[in-house]
A and B are shown apart, each in its own frame.
Chain A
């Protein structure tokens, strides 16, 4: 009660926000700014950073052969995984929404893989399953198909990692399922009276009604995909021939393995740039397809 004398009711908010304000300043804003400063320096984490101007960025774009492979792998990974994840979760959510019996059990099964996120256990599992003499190839052999070197071939390694990501579509599916339940049935009835078929009402009612959630999922998944690390680190170690050497992995190797933290900071700003570009483009398209009803 003493505090009440010192602070008006509304100003007490600052007390509640104090931990967050400190965290915000010290562990978010300050690192954000220093990260940019580091990217302009040569920094090995032991001695003081040495200012080198744009040298790190110039080197990334002109001399670092890995960089464009990393950039390509990162963008490809995001472009491969996000749409597939969204389509899968939407498709399954719609089917589950229509069903009557056993939906709870099925929903659990679909959700289960996403519990493990980017965890080590499933990354190792993926590695074992997709080895040249692993379970997937044994399955292909049983159909008389020859061995596919999933992890040894640059053309298949990235899609194999993407499959691990897509496998975990469960959480967006749960979101879509909840959103679908909120769509007023009256809209579908009205559309039916107007003679709209199923496909028509899917595109003119279902999609617009749940578009804010679809949009939210696309944004969050894209940001995550652009930073993927664990699966590339464990399943392929960035190989073969750097085809899965995503920027997150490059950042780790440059910064924490070779202790070139200035250079790695420059890479982190490239990731940030990618996140920004993708987010802006997505927000740009949102006015054409995301429908915000009045709340």
Chain B
């Protein structure tokens, strides 16, 4: 067998493997979409991917499902929680990263070590005292805890990510700006921010994604159904009915993942670059 033919066969095998595993990977998501159109009988005990008939009734019924509150409320809540959290995270992390990456001050080493150790500090150990703190601050049952954590840069991952990014930018840039009489803040906003844009965008995307997907923290900090996020509403829809109409739940699950999927397809480049750089420099 010639070497060329052998390479060709290897390549074909490789693609067969990649595509087969790819189909298995994506199948549950496609199934979820089509399940929105299926009756419970079709979902139970059937392998057919496609439903017998298409009707958007499940989207309508699911949307209005939970006692007086439609998913319009839950989506609004999710965005009310996620968008300010994301913006605050990006702002606070940028300031933190700037402080660490561009200044030499007393205690820097120790403080950086602290930042790095919080990176590995499990959320589980902080959750109860934080709950008590937020209760004393009177911000429970709302999005206050999320905003406060973001505004005070309690997501060390993003500070770290932006520090790595800033370190990669040549220091001459801002030093010459400083010599020209540019203050440190102006240096940040006029010189560094334009260069940081892709990194800020990546950080924002990930924070959006993680906060949107988060369930544990919302479950702890939010109690009133009126304030529920989409994740919490989905969970609730499993509890409230004695017989769960799965197609409604699946229809709402499809809508729930939709913002994430749309965001991903519009900003794929930033996702991939964001992951790649943080990992590589870790």
Which stretch, A1-9, A51-59, A186-194, touches the partner chain B?
A: A1-9
Does A238 have its Cβ within 8 Å of any Cβ on chain B? no
Contact A219 B124 (CB under 8 A): no
Q: Which residues of B contact A122 (CB under 8 A)?
A: 28, 253, 257
Does B50 have its Cβ within 8 Å of any Cβ on chain A? no
| A interface residue count range (under 10 / 10 to 19 / 20 to 34 / 35 or more) | 35 or more
Does B231 have its Cβ within 8 Å of any Cβ on chain A? yes
Does A272 have its Cβ within 8 Å of any Cβ on chain B? yes
Does A212 have its Cβ within 8 Å of any Cβ on chain B? yes
- Are A3 and B183 CB-contacts (below 8 A) given A20-B159, A213-B279? yes
Which stretch, B58-66, B79-87, B147-155, B193-201, touches the partner chain A?
A: B147-155
- Are A119 and B257 CB-contacts (below 8 A) given A223-B120, A230-B215? yes
CB proximity to B under 8 Å, residues A106-146: 106-113, 115-122, 124-126, 128-129, 131, 133-135, 137-139, 141-142
Contact A268 B235 (CB under 8 A): no
Q: Most A CB atoms within 10 A — which of B45, B102, B127?
A: B127
Contact A252 B216 (CB under 8 A): yes
A-B contact pairs, 28 of them (CB 8 A): A10-B103, A10-B104, A13-B99, A14-B99, A15-B99, A16-B98, A17-B100, A23-B154, A27-B154, A35-B125, A92-B18, A98-B14, A99-B11, A102-B15, A117-B209, A119-B231, A120-B215, A122-B257, A131-B44, A133-B45, A138-B46, A174-B276, A212-B282, A219-B120, A223-B120, A227-B124, A230-B216, A268-B125
Q: How far is the CB of B156 from chain A (nearest CB, A)?
A: 8
Q: Which residues of B contact A171 (CB under 8 A)?
A: 275
Contact B95 A27 (CB under 8 A): no
Contact A251 B124 (CB under 8 A): yes
Contact B250 A115 (CB under 8 A): no
- Are A106 and B126 CB-contacts (below 8 A) given A14-B105, A119-B257? no
Contact A34 B122 (CB under 8 A): no
- Are A35 and B25 CB-contacts (below 8 A) given A4-B183, A16-B96, A128-B246? no
Does A226 have its Cβ within 8 Å of any Cβ on chain B? yes
Q: Which residues of A contact B96 (CB under 8 A)?
A: 16-17, 19-20
Does B249 have its Cβ within 8 Å of any Cβ on chain A? yes
CB proximity to B under 8 Å, residues A228-265: 229-230, 233-234, 247-248, 251-252, 255-256, 261, 264-265
Q: Most B CB atoms within 10 A — which of A20, A99, A109, A131?
A: A20
A256 to B215, CA, bound (A): 14
A residues with a Cβ closer than 8 A to B are: 1, 3-4, 9-17, 19-24, 26-28, 30-32, 34-35, 38, 45, 92, 95-96, 98-99, 102, 106-113, 115-122, 124-126, 128-129, 131, 133-135, 137-139, 141-142, 167, 171-172, 174-175, 177-179, 182, 212-213, 216-217, 219, 223, 226-227, 229-230, 233-234, 247-248, 251-252, 255-256, 261, 264-265, 268-269, 271-272, 275, 279
Contact A135 B282 (CB under 8 A): no
A252 to B209, CA, bound (A): 23
Q: How far is the CB of B243 from chain A (nearest CB, A)?
A: 14
Extra contacts, 6 of them, besides A16-B95, A227-B124 (Cβ < 8 A), are A20-B159, A23-B152, A31-B125, A38-B129, A113-B29, A117-B210
Does B189 have its Cβ within 8 Å of any Cβ on chain A? no
Contact A19 B282 (CB under 8 A): no
A106 to B14, CA, bound (A): 12
- Are A27 and B133 CB-contacts (below 8 A) given A38-B128, A121-B234, A227-B122? yes
Does B114 have its Cβ within 8 Å of any Cβ on chain A? yes
Contact A17 B111 (CB under 8 A): yes
Q: How far is the CB of B10 from chain A (nearest CB, A)?
A: 9
Does B9 have its Cβ within 8 Å of any Cβ on chain A? no
Contact A10 B105 (CB under 8 A): yes
A111 to B261, CA, bound (A): 11
- Nearest to A141 among chain B residues (CB) is B45
Q: How far is the CB of A178 from chain B (nearest CB, A)?
A: 3
Contact A95 B128 (CB under 8 A): no
